[in-house]
């Protein structure tokens, strides 16, 4: 029998020989840990080291690890019926669509894909087709925000506003424009948060006008910018963006890939702002990442434009795995767990408590700002509180590594190429216990 240490070494060697990791500049210098198992908020590597996963993987394991109920739901469904293409239908897909509409307040058609990037690609394609069939074929451009992340495929990456993610992959898809998001911590001195947010929202309207409104198809944004450094808008911002969309016939796509399924303390992030998006994309927390699944939810009156007798007016997008029966069964069970254990309320409660605890850090010379919504928090590190110069990569790495040595995994976000990569991110499973909470603090 090999000891755990020997086994880990062998696996680490095989990893080095054969695997090419995501964001591999981190990993190729220092091999990634080989994770063996997970339970609750904790993961354990092959050498037996335990870590509290303060990032829920990639902001996705909302109900925590080791849920046998989810494994059982997948196994039962696979044994009964493993696959149906979504040109046909099956029970878990139908029940999940009904459940999502309940959470969204009705009025949406549900289209299944595999990943957050896929869901956004679907949104872009159907928005363009909608305008074509609605008598406005010149509308093809999308506006998103700098610092936003919307995925890795060519369209979703084009919508992404982080220079780092696009660097060396350009040219990407034409027709994607960007405006600056509200960054309340760095707003001009003396300006109120509300005025600043209204001004930032107005930038969408200016872009629409200067680009000719007849060419603008849609706006895509997250309820709050997550991967770009936890930038939470004032509610007037989101309301104003919706107003601008309505005024100019532009469809509003809300990307809930991270913010959905309780992460921000509501079922969906946009529900904090009392808006009704035209299109909503979701993934990650929908299955808590136990299986891949994503959704593009489309307002029913938009869908009507596709439901006609006219030749080729239907949405001709297809993917093999979208709406996989086991993935839908897992999503249904996952949502059942979220509701049964009141994890949305828990996210809100834990988030508020953690925000209060972390606020104590603002006296620290390198902590510029602490912010969060639900169990999704950010700590912005600076070199100098007066100038707000972003903390160096070395300083950020030192803290992340220090946390890891103490058994806590946290993230860092921002945009290295643009000179910002200075926001520590904390986004643990919503099912974290009080002991887990104390450990993080
Ligand atoms: N949208 C947002 C806001 C995301 O954070 C991500 C991934 O992190 C995506 C889309 C893309 O999702 P995926 O990685 O599943 O393609």
My answer on whether 196 and 273 are in the same domain is yes
* Substitution site in 56, 59, 62, 116 for ligand 1 pocket (most atoms within 8 Å of beta carbon): 116
* Substitution site in 56, 117, 224 for ligand 1 pocket (most atoms within 8 Å of beta carbon): 117
My answer on whether 267 and 351 are in the same domain is no
116 ligand 1 Cβ < 6 A? yes
Tell me which DSSP letter residue 260 carries: T
With contact defined as beta carbons under 8 Å apart, do 133 and 311 qualify? no
The protein residue with its alpha carbon nearest to ligand 1, atom 12, reads 116
115 has pLDDT over 70: yes
Task: Give me 387's structure tokens.
Answer: 């100038």
Q: Which of 323, 340, 357 is the last residue of a domain?
A: 340
Confidence of residue 33 (pLDDT cuts 50, 70, 90): confident
CATH number at residue 105: 3.40.640.10
My answer on whether 331 and 352 are in the same domain is no
CA angle 185, 189, 192 (to 5 degrees): 75
pLDDT tens digits, residue range 183-224?
999 999 999 999 999 999 999 999 999 999 999 999 999 999
CATH number at residue 405: 3.90.1150.10
Confidence of residue 10 (pLDDT cuts 50, 70, 90): confident
My answer on whether 295 and 367 are in the same domain is no
My answer on whether 107 and 81 are in the same domain is yes
115 ligand 1 Cβ < 6 A? yes
Distance 238 CA to ligand 1 centre (A): 20
pTM of the model: 0.97
Confidence of residue 421 (pLDDT cuts 50, 70, 90): confident
User: In 3D, which of 438, 440, 426 has the Cα closest to residue 376?
Assistant: 426
Rounded Cα distance, 230 and 217, in Å: 27
The residue whose two tokens read 């972003």 is: 390
User: In 3D, which of 227, 221, 222 has the Cα closest to residue 142?
Assistant: 221
My answer on whether 326 and 259 are in the same domain is yes
* Substitution site in 121, 149, 288 for ligand 1 pocket (most atoms within 8 Å of beta carbon): 149
Confidence of residue 24 (pLDDT cuts 50, 70, 90): low
Partners of residue 380 on adjacent β-strands: 369, 423
My answer on whether 233 and 278 are in the same domain is yes
pLDDT tens digits, residue range 283-336?
999 999 999 999 999 999 999 999 888 888 999 999 999 999 999 999 999 999
Distance 168 CA to ligand 1 centre (A): 20
402: containing domain: 4-66+342-440
Q: Enumerate residues 6+ apart whose C-beta is below 8 A from 1.
A: none
Which stretches does DSSP call E strand in 180-268?
Answer: 216-221, 251-255
My answer on whether 311 and 189 are in the same domain is yes
Number of domains forming the structure of the chain: 2
User: In 3D, which of 221, 242, 243 has the Cα closest to residue 232?
Assistant: 221
User: In 3D, which of 20, 23, 22, 46 has the Cα closest to residue 33?
Assistant: 46
My answer on whether 109 and 10 are in the same domain is no
Q: Which of 302, 321, 340 is the last residue of a domain?
A: 340
Task: Give me 265's structure tokens.
Answer: 């303390």
pLDDT tens digits, residue range 220-265?
999 999 999 999 999 999 999 999 999 999 999 999 999 999 999 9
The residue whose two tokens read 């405006």 is: 179
My answer on whether 336 and 346 are in the same domain is no
Distance 115 CA to ligand 1 centre (A): 7
369 ligand 1 Cβ < 6 A? no
Q: Enumerate residues 6+ apart whose C-beta is below 8 A from 327.
A: 74, 287, 291, 292, 293, 321
Mean pLDDT of the chain: 95
151 ligand 1 Cβ < 6 A? yes
pLDDT reported for residue 318: 94
């Amino acid at each position: 029998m090999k000891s755990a240490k020997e086994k880990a070494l062998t696996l680490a060697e095989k990893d080095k020989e054969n695997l090419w990791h995501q964001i591999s500049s981190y990993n190729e210098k220092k091999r990634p840990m080989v994770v063996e198992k997970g339970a609750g908020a904790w993961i354990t590597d092959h050498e037996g080291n335990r870590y509290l996963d303060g990032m829920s993987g990639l902001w996705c394991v909302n109900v925590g690890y080791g849920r046998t109920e989810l494994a059982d739901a997948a196994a039962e469904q696979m044994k009964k019926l493993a696959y149906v293409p979504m040109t046909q239908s099956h029970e878990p897909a139908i029940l999940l669509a009904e459940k999502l509409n309940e959470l969204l307040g009705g009025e949406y058609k549900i289209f299944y894909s595999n990943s957050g990037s896929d869901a956004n690609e679907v949104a872009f394609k159907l928005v363009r087709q909608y305008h074509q069939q609605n008598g406005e074929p010149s509308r093809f451009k999308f506006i998103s925000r700098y610092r936003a992340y919307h995925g890795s495929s060519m369209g979703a990456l084009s919508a992404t506003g982080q220079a780092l993610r696009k660097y060396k992959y350009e040219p990407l898809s034409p027709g994607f424009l960007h405006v600056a998001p509200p960054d309340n911590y760095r707003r001009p001195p003396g300006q109120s948060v509300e005025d600043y947010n209204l001004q930032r929202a107005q930038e969408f309207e200016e872009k629409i006008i200067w680009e000719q409104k007849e060419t603008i198809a849609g706006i895509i944004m997250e309820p709050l910018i997550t991967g770009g450094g936890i930038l939470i808008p004032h509610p007037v911002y989101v309301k104003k963006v919706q107003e601008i969309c309505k005024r100019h016939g532009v469809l509003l796509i809300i990307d809930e890939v991270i913010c959905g399924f309780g992460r921000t303390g509501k079922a969906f992030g946009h529900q904090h702002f009392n808006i009704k998006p035209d299109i909503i994309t979701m993934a990650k927390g929908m299955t808590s990442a136990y299986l891949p699944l994503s959704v593009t939810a489309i307002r029913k009156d938009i869908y009507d434009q596709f439901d006609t007798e006219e030749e080729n007016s239907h949405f001709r997008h297809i993917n093999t795995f979208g709406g996989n029966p086991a993935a839908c069964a897992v999503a249904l069970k996952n949502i059942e767990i979220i509701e049964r254990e009141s994890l949305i309320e828990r996210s809100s409660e834990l988030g508020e408590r953690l925000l209060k605890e972390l606020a104590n850090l603002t006296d620290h010379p390198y902590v510029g700002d602490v912010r969060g919504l639900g169990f999704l928090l950010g700590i912005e590190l600076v070199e100098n509180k007066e100038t707000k110069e972003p903390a160096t990569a070395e300083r950020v790495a030192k803290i992340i590594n220090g946390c890891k040595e103490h058994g806590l995994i946290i993230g860092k976000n921002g945009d290295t190429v643009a000179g910002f990569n200075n926001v520590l991110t904390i986004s643990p499973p919503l099912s974290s216990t009080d002991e887990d909470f104390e450990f993080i603090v």
